[in-house]
Amino acid sequence: MPYEQDGAEAKEIAKYLPYFPFKGIDRFYDIGGFLEKPEVFQQIVDIFAARYDSIGIDAVAGLDARGFILGPPIALALKKPFIMMRKKGKMPNSISSADYNVEYGKRSGLTVQRDKINKGDRVLIIDDLVATGGTLSSAISLVEMCGGTVVECACVVELKLFIDPPADSGIPSRTKLFKEMNINHVPVWGLISEDVLTVEAKLHEDYEDDGEEH
């Protein structure tokens, strides 16, 4: 039986995904909560591995930086190559996508090494969270530049409020972005949505929002 977004497993895992006020965002979800719980981390890996073993892929691409935590164990479970998509200036012999926007600022394009994705490769893109879709759009562009096909973009958390918000809301639309970039054929799957992410982190009295960008 396929795993469903916000299903029983997701609701249990959500207990280990607290949110913090961080980078000027009221609810910044922290995967450190489940990383310190080996049994929960393993459950997430097992869920993703089961999904993509059934779908069929050739490689797993993880996004800098938290995709580097989630991607390798999933790739190992599937016995598939793991490919790093890094920030500019970090890898030799690489190509770069265009700059992109995220929910808390602007980013330089991602890079991938030229010989890692072959024409026709079926690639799974992994990250911890999808909001506006800016980072994923950059990764999709890279795979397609190399001649590969993105089977799906998979994240532990999907913030649904960014999928297709009202035009007058001022909230960036992932659907609109993907259409403008002609990548709306690429599916996005998240295990958990904000609907079940209700655990507020317990903050120390001296807590400060010391995120790099606001």
Alpha carbons 3 and 10: distance in angstroms, whole number:
9
In whole angstroms, how far apart are CA 140 and each of 93, 123, 149, 180? Answer: 19, 9, 8, 13
Instruction: Give residue 59's Cα distance to chain centre.
Output: 16
H helices of 79-214, in order, are 134-145, 174-180
The amino acid occupying position 43 is Q
The span from the CA of 65 to the CA of 171, in Å, is 25
**3 state DSSP class of 22:** strand
Whether pTM > 0.85 for this model: the answer is yes
Q: Cis (ω within 30 of 0) for the bond into 201?
A: no
Average pLDDT for consecutive 10-residue bins of the chain (214 residues)?
90 97 90 96 98 97 97 98 95 90 68 96 98 94 97 98 95 95 97 98 92 61
| Residue 214: per-residue pLDDT | 39
User: Which residue among the candidates 9, 36, 51, 103 is catalytic per the annotation?
Assistant: 103
Residue 66 appears among annotated catalytic residues: yes
Specify the pLDDT at position 49. Answer: 98
Confirm whether 122 is a catalytic residue.
no
What was the pLDDT predicted at 2?
75
Among candidate residues 66, 144, 174, 194, the one labeled active-site is 66
Cis peptide before 61 (omega within 30 of 0): no
